[in-house]
């Protein structure tokens, strides 16, 4: 059995948000939903021009939907939900993406990619942790990252997705494997990884790539989003070529899929629940950064389109189920 994603179009357009809050200039990226009693809260990030160099800095935000219908919005976060790190810290130049889960005591726990800028390559990323009582404003747990570089995960530790599965904290993420120089530009090749924890602070990494490459060793993989359904773990993620991927539909982000019985051994099967790019419109060049969740008995996917969320984020509903 399989299922088919039915596209429902843009759920939030970029300008719906950026025209509402003063600090955000463009982009609504990396959506992550949590279903609350009376609303669906979708965390995402947006960008504002931060420094005299004109470099963008990504900051966290959320939108509350009363139902999963375009425009049925209860409100936005007015201020960024998480502070930037101070001088020299790992998250001085951005917090992107941000993934949130609720712990058993009702607290909200966020894991986020913290960005710093480097000289020979454009950036490095490590994963930080923050908590919140109300899910609206988050306070960092520590100054430093909870997941940073290791011998086999040498840089760019990012794209966190936090889940509580079978009573354990599970963090799926990506880790840089190598930087590739292409026309004088350094491009990062990163792969999907996973780590486990009893308390959310001390993590044991599996320490290897969890989903095989499909388009060769230079495949970049991100946004490993896991959902437990019908006795299996299902993972949606995105992948692309490492060069010439920004506007070239043949080389840009596509959605991949893998499943597992134990969170460790994953079988890749992209065609099983394929969500393809459209022939025209906001998601005609790429489909990226999936987040899959269950709402009122149905399965939904939030995802990004062209230029990784420049226009907003879209919604799809699964016709069928995940088996």
Partner 1 sequence: MWRNRGNVFDLEMDPVRKLGLSFAQGPQALVMKDRTRVYFSTRRPDSNGKPISFIKFAEFSPDFTELLNVSQAEVVSNGGLGAFDEHGIFPLNVIPVEDEIRGYSSGWSRRISVDVTMGIGILSSRDDGLSFQRIGSGPAISASPDEPFLIGDPFVLLQDGKFHLWYIYGTDWTRDSGGTPERTYRIGHRESDNGMNWEDKGKSHDLIAPLSPHEAQAMPTVLVSDGKGYLVFCYRETFDFRNGGARSYRLGIAASDDLVSWTRLPQFAEWQGDGWDSQMMCYPNIHVRGDTVFLLYNGNDFGKHGFGLAEIPLGDFVRHYSSGGSPHRRATSNANSIFKTKQF
Look at residues 294, 311, 310 and name the one whose alpha carbon lies nearest to residue 40: 294
Q: Which of 37, 38, 119, 134 binds partner 1 (CB under 8 A)?
A: 119
Would you count residue 124 as binding partner 1 (CB under 8 A)? yes
Whole-number Å distance between alpha carbons of 114 and 233:
27
Would you count residue 186 as binding partner 1 (CB under 8 A)? yes
Give the H/E segment covering residue 301: strand 298-304
Look at residues 10, 80, 94 and name the one whose alpha carbon lies nearest to residue 43: 80
CB of 92 to partner 1, least distance (A): 6
Q: Which of 60, 97, 176, 200 binds partner 1 (CB under 8 A)?
A: 176
Would you count residue 110 as binding partner 1 (CB under 8 A)? no
Whole-number Å distance between alpha carbons of 224 and 141:
24
* In contact, 160 and 192? CB cutoff 8 Å: no
19, HSE (Cβ side, Cα atoms, 13 Å): 7
First to last CA, the chain: 7
Whole-number Å distance between alpha carbons of 128 and 125:
10
Would you count residue 142 as binding partner 1 (CB under 8 A)? yes
Would you count residue 197 as binding partner 1 (CB under 8 A)? no
Tell me if residue 216 falls in helix, strand or coil: coil
Look at residues 189, 289, 285, 193 and name the one whose alpha carbon lies nearest to residue 242: 189
Q: Which of 131, 154, 260, 281 binds partner 1 (CB under 8 A)?
A: 154
CB of 269 to partner 1, least distance (A): 31
Would you count residue 148 as binding partner 1 (CB under 8 A)? yes
Would you count residue 120 as binding partner 1 (CB under 8 A)? yes
Would you count residue 89 as binding partner 1 (CB under 8 A)? yes
Tokens 């359904």 -> residue: 229
Q: Which of 35, 181, 206, 298 binds partner 1 (CB under 8 A)?
A: 181
Cα distances from 284 to residues 11, 31, 121, 275, 307, in angstroms, run: 16, 19, 30, 12, 10
- H, E, C per residue of 29-77: EEEEEEECCCCEEEEEEEEEECCCCCCEEEEEEEEEECCCCCCCEEEEC
* Neighbouring residues of 247: CB distance < 8 A, sequence distance ≥ 6: 285, 306, 307
Would you count residue 149 as binding partner 1 (CB under 8 A)? yes
Would you count residue 243 as binding partner 1 (CB under 8 A)? no
The rounded Cα 216 to chain-centroid distance in angstroms is: 23
Would you count residue 179 as binding partner 1 (CB under 8 A)? yes
Comparison of 67 and 150: residue with beta carbon closer to partner 1: 150
Would you count residue 276 as binding partner 1 (CB under 8 A)? no
Query: CB under 8 A: which stretch of 89-97, 131-139, 245-253, 279-287 binds partner 1?
Result: 89-97
Comparison of 15 and 143: residue with beta carbon closer to partner 1: 143
Query: CB under 8 A: which stretch of 26-34, 112-120, 235-243, 281-289 binds partner 1?
Result: 112-120
Would you count residue 94 as binding partner 1 (CB under 8 A)? no
Would you count residue 145 as binding partner 1 (CB under 8 A)? yes
Would you count residue 144 as binding partner 1 (CB under 8 A)? yes
Comparison of 190 and 300: residue with beta carbon closer to partner 1: 190
Q: Which of 52, 71, 106, 151 binds partner 1 (CB under 8 A)?
A: 151
Would you count residue 50 as binding partner 1 (CB under 8 A)? no
Residues that bind partner 1 (CB under 8 A): 86-90, 92-93, 116-121, 124, 126, 129, 141-146, 148-156, 176, 178-179, 181, 186, 188, 201-202
């Amino acid at each position: 059995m399989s299922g088919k994603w039915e596209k429902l179009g843009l759920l939030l357009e970029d300008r719906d948000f950026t025209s509402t809050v003063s600090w955000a200039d463009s982009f609504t990226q990396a959506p992550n939903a949590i279903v609350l009693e009376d609303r669906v809260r979708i965390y995402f990030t947006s960008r504002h021009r931060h420094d005299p160099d004109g470099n963008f800095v990504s900051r966290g935000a959320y939108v509350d939907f009363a139902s999963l219908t375009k425009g049925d919005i209860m409100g936005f976060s007015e201020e960024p939900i998480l502070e930037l790190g101070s001088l020299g810290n790992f998250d001085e130049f951005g917090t992107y993406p941000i993934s949130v889960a609720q712990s058993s005591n009702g607290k909200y726990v966020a894991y986020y990619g913290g960005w710093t800028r480097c000289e020979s390559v454009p950036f490095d990323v490590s994963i930080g942790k923050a908590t919140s009582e109300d899910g609206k404003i988050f306070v960092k747990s520590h100054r430093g990252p909870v997941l940073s570089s290791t011998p086999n995960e040498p840089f760019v530790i990012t794209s966190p997705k936090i889940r509580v599965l079978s009573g354990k904290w599970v963090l799926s993420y990506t880790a840089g494997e190598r930087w590739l120089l292409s026309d004088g530009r350094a491009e990062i090749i990163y792969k999907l990884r996973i780590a486990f924890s009893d308390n959310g602070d001390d993590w044991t990494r599996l320490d290897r790539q969890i989903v095989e490459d499909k388009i060769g060793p230079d495949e970049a993989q991100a946004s490993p989003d896991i959902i437990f359904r019908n006795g299996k773990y299902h993972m949606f993620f995105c992948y692309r070529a490492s060069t010439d991927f920004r506007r070239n539909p043949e080389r840009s982000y596509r959605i991949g899929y893998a499943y597992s019985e134990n969170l460790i051994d994953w079988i890749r099967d992209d065609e099983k629940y394929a969500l393809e790019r459209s022939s025209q419109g906001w998601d005609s060049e790429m489909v990226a950064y999936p987040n899959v969740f269950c709402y009122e008995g149905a399965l939904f996917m939030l995802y990004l389109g062209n230029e990784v969320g420049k226009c907003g984020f879209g919604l799809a509903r699964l016709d069928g189920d995940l088996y």
